[in-house]
Chains A and B, each alone.
Chain A
Amino acid sequence: MDLKRSNPLYGLKISKKLIRNMKFSAILSLVIVFSSFANSYSQVEISLNVENQTIINVLDKIESETDLRFMFGSDIYDFQKVISVNFDKVKLKNVIELIFENKLMYDLKENVVVLKKSPIKSANNILAKDEIIILDTNIQQDVVQNVIEGNVTDGGGNPLPGATVIELGTNNGTTTDFDGNFSLDVDGENPTLLFAYLGFISQNIVAENDSKLNVTLLADIAGLDEVVLTGYGSQNKRDITSSISVLDLEGVSEKANTDVGLLLQGRSAGVRVIQNSGKPGGSPQIFVRGISSLSGNTQPLYVIDGVVSYSTNAIDPNNIEDITVLKDASAAGIYGAAGASNGVVLITTKKGKSGKFKASINTYTGSSQLINKIPLLNSSELDDYLNELNSTSVSYSALGVNNDWQDLLYRTATQSGINASISGGSEKGSFYVGIGYLDQDGIVVSSENKRYSLSINVDQEIKDWLSFGTHLNYTRSNVKSIPDQRGARYGGAISSALQTPPFQEIFDENGFYTLSAGGTGFGNENPLSYVYSNDNLDVISNMVADANFSVKLPYNLTYRTQIGVILSGNRYTSFRDPTLSGVSNAYGGEGQYNTGETSRYIFDNTLSYGEVFGMHKLDVVVGSSVSEENQTSSFQTKRNFASETVRTLNTASEPFLSESDAGSWSLASYFARANYSFSDKYSATVSYRTDGSSRIGAVNRWGTFKTLSAGWNLSNESFMQNVDFVKNLKFRAGYGETGNLPSGLNSYANIVKVNLFPSSPTTLAPGRIPSTQAGNAELQWETSKQTNIGLDFSVLNNRIFITADYYNKRTENMIFPTTLPQSSGFVTKIVNLDGVIENKGFEFSLLASVIEKTDFSWSSTFNMSFNKNNVSDIPEDQIIFSTGLQNLGGSVSITKNGLPIGTFWGLNAEGVDPATGDMIFTDNDGVPGITPDDRQDIGNPMPDFTYGFVNEFSYKNFDLNVVIDGSYGNEIYNAGKQNLQSMRFSEQQSADVVNRWRNPGDITDMPRATLVDSNQNSFINTRWIEDGSFLRVRDISLSYNFGQDILDKLNISGLRLYGNLKNWITITDYSGYSPEVNRSLAGVDKVATTQGIDYGSYPQAKTFSLGLNVEF
């Protein structure tokens, strides 16, 4: 949807259509599309002079003179009719109109002209055609009777050049000129005129003769004529039968964007984006329609310019043109396996636009800061607590040291970036080159990311039947990180800044950073030590590239081949400075040099076929895909450096660690899909895919995934023609299967590990021990079966377009590392667990053109997603305690029948016993004392619903964009609070602790301080569960577009100044830094069963930035 029509960045006002055309031709080169759109044969001019010939002979003559071929059913017209014609350089469409007296329509498929009956005349049906046939008035022989003149504008009062005006029931028509003016000679009295413009709602207007008409066309927010990528192909939006979200990224990519995932935030129903870390270079977690795998991948599959990828790391968000999310199985099924269960995100990078050379620069700078501090005890309050805890009377606050570790750790950080691009093209080809640089400091001191990016896209039509394209996206990031997502005792700087007492010195008497709270004496220092004494750098390179050829074959066949390459490499270096860290000093400094490389190719071949037979439309694609990945990594650590100034490992004398690792996997797939539609009323899609993976044993290596969906455009039924309150009504229903793989590379094999043993008092030899993971040769694919029922319609004269979907996604054969009794000698085994993970939900989105006036417009998208996750039918004895966070009292999360994945499991705290100061816990098993069976469901990390609300306002030269999103009903396990209100550790506690129980009779909700904690007050219980609901104003941007007069003076084509606020308003009851949490230390594949845990996460920042876009 594009409502910002006055944006001078798009240069001429004609841009709407131009952009759409160009966008389309870019897609054409990327995927196989059948359409008469942008077909050069439509421009062929025919000269012919025959008398008294049958139509069939006339067509033969045309075939012999040109490359055109005609195709038709012999019963659709009287082809034996004798005619005489005299054409001199008349365009094809006019020839056909004249020969068939405007009674037949045609489709042009390359050089083939398919003749067909004209369907019922209606506004909708005329719009349904790819192009409206316009008769050239200069060959009209009819007598001119009347002239109607007028002007066509959009809702904002801007002229629409090139809009079509047709007198219904005649051959008369014209297009508007540059200023939106038209003049049409009409036949009838008070004729009905049709005004149409792609992307706008067409209108029928009864005109009075010789009148002057001012017509306003409203934007068609339903966008039914837009071409939607579907993976290995595309479809018109009106023919889509599955659940696909096309994201509106209008203007977004011209802003200060740091991560691709964040572009998805709030913009699509059913897509939940959790920005669980504010780390520079960190990526959010993305869940499409809930979590549907226990141990497999839970993140969507990314397809970048047609190349299946597993991350977006190679993409600079500023180079993204389009994002489309395939949500249900019938949409994602063509990608079958390996993650398609979690949805597929199709990313198209920017391409050049034909006919126009363009250079643009986007630069921005800004600053970020911590949103909120967590209130902690002051020094004397902490003295009180420690003395009470340890039965002492010491005053550490008297030491006079008072460090606010949060203030020491966080800073106001700056970020700036610049993106520059040049693009252009001709009818035969286009190019786009974009470069970018981002320099982002984190709000935690010393953390930063410097990212360099490059995008090169070239598409070229070599011959009429052969086209070529190549795309390359590359990023290189230099990331300095700090340890987060872990406790102070394990070096987490975020936790440590909270737990380290204020009276602790920063440096000890030797000039080393002091040890952190709770430190064991070796390896745990105060937060600044990790941040300052550890000099680390992660240099990460990512590339996604492809080259493709498309060959047009006879019989409407197109063959396409694409080789994609994904390369990623990283180099991690770190140095622990022995002059700053006592720990490091003990071993003379420690340096690491780790490298890793992953390379993958993916080779896709497809044959596509598309044809229209009268009212029947058929598209078929069949293909194969093979890919293979190799991974290597190495780890080197040395100690005892000659000097702290030279940090390369050659200057260290003591080898400490030297290892390398390698792995590989391969995947082979065959697939087929057919789209069929009849009379623009009924459409259906079937697909079939079979995948073989090296990650599954030979027994069940191949998995098969089928989908079926159908749609019914009710609005095209004749009985709906007179219904005005609802338009574009379509029902969709589909069912399909998708697959998922184990995260490990060889879960099926029995493995022996190498283990060292002493072969003499001073030497080691490599020995062999059995792996604690038992092999499973019978392992199968995990399968998700998804049913989707959807409804699209628009109301209020197409001003509001609504899409609603209900789905039920059932994951079976769950791949799961089951925990075996250790008495078996094994610890885990990857199995297909019986049972079902069900994600059942309802989601809707609403596109609204709220206000569309001259100088002011407001458009809005609102979406809401309800997802209910439930596990059922897993074996009764298979209760999954996730080890994602092993905190005091065991595992925080449980997965068992009748509950959502990763439900929090612990004791229910009823309050503090005024007599003892201990917590009273619900006794669920009737056994005195606190027993494991007293544990219960204490919270659900999954939200009841999430929502997004995106608003675009436009007033004169100003644009305002507001993105709001939120989550409701989810709970958070605040593991950080478990430390800060432990009442048992000799370290800093949160400010609330002053309310603790001290004497019998005290009524409070904070238990007593106790070192032993025999009542388990600090164990896993409801004290640490908090409501995670939030509403966040994610993004506010205001931009000013300089007017044409200034642009002319500066001799540039666009200039825009913008300010941007991120995360400035958050409404939540959550007491931690950010309600968007998900500890992911265990890696992406462990995310599923440990949702909603907050443990020392790098806080998100609020950011203000200013930017400038210039276009030449």
Chain B
Amino acid sequence: MKNSKKIKVKINIMKNKYNLKVILFLSLITFYSCTSDDFLEKPPLNELSTEASYASEGDAEAAIGAIYGLPAQMSQHYYKWQHTIFSDMRADNTHSGFVADIINVELWLASSSATEPNGYPWSQSYQYIASANTVIDNIPGIEDPNFTDSEKDVIMGQAYFLRGFYYFYLNRLYGGVPLTLSTTDSDIFKARNTEAEVYAQVEADLLLAESLLPSEYSDNFLTRTRATKGAAQAMLAKVYADTGDYTKCAEFAGKVINSSTYSLVPTFDHLFDGDHEYSSEAIFEMTHVPGTDLATYHAVQVLPPGDYSQYDGNKTGFNPWQVPYHRFNTAKTSLAAAFKEMGDTVREESTIFYVPYEMATQPNFGYEVGEPIGHMWKMGRTGEIFDKWNVILLRLADIILLRAEALNQIGNTAEAITLLNQIRSRVQLAPTTATTQAEVALAILKERRLELVVENNRFWDLRRYYNDDAAFVKHINDQTDSGGNSFGVQATEDKIYIPMPQAEIDVNPNLVQNPGY
């Protein structure tokens, strides 16, 4: 009973004096108000918010600079798809290796809309464009006393250039794409703009860029890798060539050629050997920084199959029964023959890497066992295997030949020949023997093929040359291997543009597929 007395006292105290207070206090704890808005506001710890990201000159530089870093970081490299497979492979320069999806591209199959490759240029280009749009949306509003109007102009000019640049190549590939010009555009499910509308937008962006951008930056690296007035002019020349305005094409190409910023490098091999980057010939060059993420490139996908010991000291070759899985851009026999026919040993040695064809199981493309088979090799060849993968997106030789082509088209064949010979002389070739307008046009086409192979030109060079879809398609279909056997390419006029990615059509009902697919 003693024990229960004690309890009684306690309970009584609580009962009589503190009951209500205690209950009130505990109730308050139960419902205490630490649940203020602050407690539930958790801004990201590992990411920046858009609102806080564009406030200073440094932010503007970070925003524009990032766009240059993007293409090299994409796991499915922009250069690989947009700049080689859809130009040289889909035309008549190279083979796909033996990946079915890529074969669909090479063989122009209608079913290729369901396959992967046609999606990469689309998804990646639109990300670069969105980044450019972010700059265009946010930079004008930055209030930073150290950020002058002329500095803003340079940033804005680069953004307009990059947007124009990527819309240009999208338009070339897909033929009319949706135009998104702001990150805050609420119209998400856009229908396609016409090809002409896109070209008009590209022209407007590039003209604006030309007016805003400097000819050169404070150092050579930036001049070669950033958008410049010259780069804008070079792109405009391409736009006018595509749209048939050869007068303006010649005019803008001329501006580039006459600029003191650019000159041909004397030794052709220096362009791609990996030891002479950022040369005077480069108008717009994409940097891969050695030893960093920006150097990671799916190198093996353009390397020949077999023994890699010569590159990294270790043999990690394929097993003999395997068909080489990745072997993009094997030279077609016609390309090798074209070098031989022109006697162009300088560019051939810099471009094609022959290894003996010894694997009986690989598709032979008309090559016989024991014969050398050609692999494209127009990238850095020195240093570590994953390094030195700069890609020259625009260079002077292209623009010189483009001006030659334009001048020839508008009747100034003589000057065209001069420009053509300028390119030929660098690689120790005799002046052209072509004289008539038609002969010169063909000579320029052949020259561009050997000068610019796997540099994202061949498909559209052929298309401009024929200026007739039926003839163009016939050229593609008439290809044969060295034995005269057809490759079975199924090109048709309605498949000149690659298909809209199926995944994009799946989510955007307003997107209409190209007719051939």
Residues of A within 8 A of B (CB): 44, 66-67, 111, 386, 390, 392, 394, 396, 463-465, 501, 503-504, 508, 510, 512, 514-515, 517-522, 551, 553-555, 557, 559, 561, 582-583, 585-586, 605-607, 622-624, 626, 628, 661-668, 670, 692-695, 698, 701, 745-746, 749-772, 775, 819-827, 877, 879, 881, 889-890, 929-932, 984, 986-987, 1011-1014, 1016, 1019
Q: Is the CB of B66 within 8 A of A769?
A: yes
Expressed in whole angstroms, the Cα–Cα distance for A821 and B361 within the complex equals: 41
Given A668-B34, A823-B178, A825-B133, A757 and B69 contact (CB-CB distance below 8 Å): yes
Q: Is the CB of A819 within 8 A of B507?
A: yes
Asked if B10 is at the interface (CB within 8 A of a chain A CB), the reply is: yes
Q: Is the CB of A750 within 8 A of B312?
A: no
Q: Is the CB of B507 within 8 A of A821?
A: yes
Q: Is the CB of A521 within 8 A of B316?
A: yes
20 additional A-B residue pairs with CB within 8 Å, beyond A521-B300, A767-B69: A624-B30, A663-B45, A664-B45, A668-B35, A668-B39, A749-B47, A752-B50, A754-B48, A758-B68, A761-B221, A767-B67, A769-B131, A775-B50, A821-B504, A821-B507, A826-B188, A986-B361, A1012-B100, A1014-B100, A1016-B111
> What are the 4 A-B residue pairs with the smallest beta carbon separation, nearest first?
A767-B66, A825-B130, A757-B69, A668-B35
- Residues of B near A1016 (CB, < 8 A) are 111, 114
Given B44, B45, B316, which contacts A522 in the complex, CB threshold below 8 Å? B316
Expressed in whole angstroms, the Cα–Cα distance for A755 and B11 within the complex equals: 66
The 14 listed contacts between A and B (C-beta, < 8 Å) are A510-B314, A559-B30, A626-B39, A663-B44, A694-B41, A698-B41, A751-B49, A764-B69, A764-B293, A768-B63, A824-B188, A827-B123, A877-B507, A1011-B323
Q: Is the CB of B46 within 8 A of A661?
A: yes
Closest to A559 in B: B26
Expressed in whole angstroms, the Cα–Cα distance for A771 and B49 within the complex equals: 10
Given A755-B69, A758-B225, A768-B62, A745 and B44 contact (CB-CB distance below 8 Å): yes
Given A668-B34, A758-B287, A1011-B323, A932 and B114 contact (CB-CB distance below 8 Å): yes
For window 277-292 of B, CB contacts with A under 8 Å fall at 277-278, 287, 289-290, 292
Expressed in whole angstroms, the Cα–Cα distance for A930 and B113 within the complex equals: 11
- Residues of B near A514 (CB, < 8 A) are 319
Q: Is the CB of A761 within 8 A of B278?
A: yes
Asked if B189 is at the interface (CB within 8 A of a chain A CB), the reply is: yes
Q: Is the CB of A1014 within 8 A of B111?
A: yes
Asked if B155 is at the interface (CB within 8 A of a chain A CB), the reply is: no
Asked if B466 is at the interface (CB within 8 A of a chain A CB), the reply is: no
Q: Is the CB of B293 within 8 A of A756?
A: yes
Stretch in contact with the other chain, from B14-22, B397-405, B411-419, B429-437:
B14-22
Closest to B34 in A: A626
Q: Is the CB of B134 within 8 A of A582?
A: no
Given A67, A555, A752, A825, which contacts B53 in the complex, CB threshold below 8 Å? A752
Expressed in whole angstroms, the Cα–Cα distance for A775 and B323 within the complex equals: 45
Given A390-B323, A390-B361, A879-B506, A698 and B37 contact (CB-CB distance below 8 Å): yes
Asked if B503 is at the interface (CB within 8 A of a chain A CB), the reply is: yes
Q: Is the CB of B188 within 8 A of A821?
A: yes
Given A767-B65, A820-B507, A1011-B98, A749 and B316 contact (CB-CB distance below 8 Å): no
Given A386-B321, A465-B11, A582 and B316 contact (CB-CB distance below 8 Å): yes
Residues of B within 8 A of A (CB): 4, 7-8, 10-11, 14-15, 19, 22-23, 26-27, 29-32, 34-35, 37, 39-51, 53-54, 59, 62-70, 73, 98, 100, 103-104, 109-111, 113-114, 122-123, 126-127, 129-131, 133-134, 177-178, 180, 183, 185, 188-190, 221, 225, 277-278, 287, 289-290, 292-294, 300-301, 308, 312, 314-323, 325-326, 360-361, 363, 502-504, 506-509, 511
Q: Is the CB of B126 within 8 A of A877?
A: no
Q: Is the CB of A769 within 8 A of B67?
A: yes
- Residues of A near B42 (CB, < 8 A) are 664-666, 694-695, 745-746
Given A504, A623, A751, A827, which contacts B47 in the complex, CB threshold below 8 Å? A751
Given A510, A582, A761, which contacts B289 in the complex, CB threshold below 8 Å? A761
Q: Is the CB of B40 within 8 A of A701?
A: yes
Expressed in whole angstroms, the Cα–Cα distance for A67 and B7 within the complex equals: 8
Q: Is the CB of B66 within 8 A of A624?
A: no
Distance from A594 Cβ to chain B, minimum over Cβ atoms (Å):
15
Expressed in whole angstroms, the Cα–Cα distance for A606 and B123 within the complex equals: 53
- Residues of A near B308 (CB, < 8 A) are 521
Closest to A987 in B: B322
Given A519-B318, A821-B190, A827-B123, A392 and B47 contact (CB-CB distance below 8 Å): no
- Residues of B near A557 (CB, < 8 A) are 23
- Residues of A near B8 (CB, < 8 A) are 66-67
- Residues of A near B315 (CB, < 8 A) are 508, 510, 582
Expressed in whole angstroms, the Cα–Cα distance for A714 and B45 within the complex equals: 57
Expressed in whole angstroms, the Cα–Cα distance for A322 and B72 within the complex equals: 56
Distance from B126 Cβ to chain A, minimum over Cβ atoms (Å):
5
Closest to B363 in A: A1011
Expressed in whole angstroms, the Cα–Cα distance for A775 and B50 within the complex equals: 10
- Residues of A near B317 (CB, < 8 A) are 521
Given A515, A694, A764, A821, which contacts B292 in the complex, CB threshold below 8 Å? A764
- Residues of B near A518 (CB, < 8 A) are 322, 325
Expressed in whole angstroms, the Cα–Cα distance for A517 and B315 within the complex equals: 17
Given B51, B111, B507, which contacts A929 in the complex, CB threshold below 8 Å? B111
- Residues of A near B19 (CB, < 8 A) are 553-555
Expressed in whole angstroms, the Cα–Cα distance for A390 and B323 within the complex equals: 8
Closest to A775 in B: B50
Closest to A524 in B: B325
Q: Is the CB of B127 within 8 A of A825?
A: yes
Interface-central residue, B64, B100, B504, by most chain A CB under 10 Å:
B100
Expressed in whole angstroms, the Cα–Cα distance for A622 and B308 within the complex equals: 71
Interface-central residue, B22, B63, B189, B325, by most chain A CB under 10 Å:
B325
- Residues of A near B293 (CB, < 8 A) are 756, 764
Q: Is the CB of B67 within 8 A of A823?
A: no
- Residues of A near B111 (CB, < 8 A) are 929-931, 1014, 1016
Distance from B388 Cβ to chain A, minimum over Cβ atoms (Å):
10
Closest to A581 in B: B316
Closest to A694 in B: B42
Expressed in whole angstroms, the Cα–Cα distance for A224 and B304 within the complex equals: 76
Q: Is the CB of A623 within 8 A of B321?
A: no
Given A554-B19, A606-B30, A767-B63, A986 and B322 contact (CB-CB distance below 8 Å): yes
Q: Is the CB of B44 within 8 A of A396?
A: no
Expressed in whole angstroms, the Cα–Cα distance for A501 and B322 within the complex equals: 10
Q: Is the CB of B127 within 8 A of A772?
A: yes
Closest to B103 in A: A1012
Expressed in whole angstroms, the Cα–Cα distance for A553 and B123 within the complex equals: 65
Expressed in whole angstroms, the Cα–Cα distance for A824 and B504 within the complex equals: 11
Closest to A604 in B: B30
Expressed in whole angstroms, the Cα–Cα distance for A269 and B436 within the complex equals: 87
- Residues of B near A772 (CB, < 8 A) are 127, 130
Q: Is the CB of A823 within 8 A of B502?
A: no
Expressed in whole angstroms, the Cα–Cα distance for A903 and B508 within the complex equals: 21
Q: Is the CB of A826 within 8 A of B130?
A: yes
Q: Is the CB of A586 within 8 A of B312?
A: yes
Distance from A599 Cβ to chain B, minimum over Cβ atoms (Å):
14
Expressed in whole angstroms, the Cα–Cα distance for A1014 and B106 within the complex equals: 13
Expressed in whole angstroms, the Cα–Cα distance for A679 and B129 within the complex equals: 72
Given A465-B10, A750-B49, A775-B50, A825 and B183 contact (CB-CB distance below 8 Å): yes
Given A749-B49, A763-B289, A986 and B323 contact (CB-CB distance below 8 Å): yes
Expressed in whole angstroms, the Cα–Cα distance for A782 and B381 within the complex equals: 55
Closest to A821 in B: B508
Given A559, A586, A752, A1013, which contacts B49 in the complex, CB threshold below 8 Å? A752
Distance from B250 Cβ to chain A, minimum over Cβ atoms (Å):
33
Expressed in whole angstroms, the Cα–Cα distance for A510 and B110 within the complex equals: 46
- Residues of B near A661 (CB, < 8 A) are 46
Expressed in whole angstroms, the Cα–Cα distance for A392 and B64 within the complex equals: 53
- Residues of B near A623 (CB, < 8 A) are 30
Q: Is the CB of A756 within 8 A of B322?
A: no
Expressed in whole angstroms, the Cα–Cα distance for A626 and B278 within the complex equals: 59
Closest to A765 in B: B65
